[in-house]
Structure 1
Amino acid sequence: MMRLTLTAIALGLSATALAAMDGPMSGAEFDAYSQGKTFYYGADGEAYGVEEYMSDRKVRWSFLDGDCKEGHWYEEAGGLICFVYDDTPGDPQCWSFYQGPRGLVARFENNPQSTELYEVENSTDPMMCKGPEVGV
């Protein structure tokens, strides 16, 4: 079901559709839209990842493999939403988010040619993450 929805979104909303949308969301708009939700994202017609947006701008990300990264987001000058994850604190990932006709559209601004994500689904259910790695 998710793959069918993702394909429909990928076919129905291209990069040129971004030009027809209002400008990027502000930090306050993004927070109001995302807080307390878990978003499933797609890119190029394929499932891409999932992110849970919690209070105090805390986030949890996974590439749908059950390995989760904890982090937070902040608003950068110019309206960018930047994410910093605990495992890479010196490497913010900055995005511009747009409210599209079918949900969020996110453009990776560290390299705008590389990634554009589309909201496939959102839920109030928390993400499923594997437990910590336990060694001998």
Structure 2
Amino acid sequence: MKPLVFLILSSTVASAETLVTPEMFEQMTEGRTFYYGQNSEPYGAEEYLPNRRVRWTFLDGQCEEGEWFVELDLICFVYDANPVPQCWSFYQQDEGGLIARFENDPNATTLYEMSQSDDPLRCLGPDVGV
């Protein structure tokens, strides 16, 4: 009986998410800013610019410039300050919103789309202020 219950639960969970292909990802994100959360708390935001350029912030006013590319069907990001690729799989939830799973260490980070906007990120930049 347990294998049947597991199979039913697995198929229910699997149908709740659809893997986002790189082409879908580009169509969904370009020109938009996505706000991500983890454990119901704000985590960060990414602005998706033309030509696969990105701008990331941990919502502290400081932004990292970078780009994304495809590697083995994963969406990988490199940033000017961190050139080590950070690869993610993205899933579209049936009820809307993206889920991003960090594939460099799948146990480390799963982010959920909290909101999205057409507005650019507000970045303070280095050495701003008095």
Query: Do structure 1's residue 87 and structure 2's residue 81 form an aligned pair?
Result: yes
Mapped partners of 1:36, 1:18: distance in 2 = 30
Q: Which residue does 1:99 correspond to in 2?
A: 92
Q: Which residue does 1:11 correspond to in 2?
A: none
Q: What is the 5 A alignment of 1:45-84?
A: 45-77=40-72, 79-84=73-78
Q: Which TM-score applies when normalising by structure 1?
A: 0.80
The RMSD of aligned alpha carbons is 1.7
Q: Which residue does 1:124 correspond to in 2?
A: 118
Structure 1 residue runs of 4 or more that deviate by more than 6 Å after TM superposition: none
Q: Secondary structure at the match of 2:27?
A: helix
Mapped partners of 1:118, 1:49: distance in 2 = 10
Q: Structure 1 vs Structure 2: percent identity of aligned residues? A: 53
Structure 1 unaligned residues grouped into runs of 5+? 1-16
Q: Amino acid of the residue matched to residue 42 of structure 1?
A: G
Q: Amino acid of the residue matched to residue 88 of structure 1?
A: N
CA contact (8 A) 2:18 2:91 kept: yes
Mapped partners of 2:101, 2:28: distance in 1 = 17
Q: Which TM-score applies when normalising by structure 2?
A: 0.84
Q: How many residues align structurally? A: 117
Q: CA-to-partner distance for each residue in 1:58-112, whole Å, 9 max, x for gaps?
A: 00000000110000000111x10000000111x1110000011231100000111
| CA positional deviation for 1:133 | 2.0
| CA positional deviation for 1:39 | 0.4
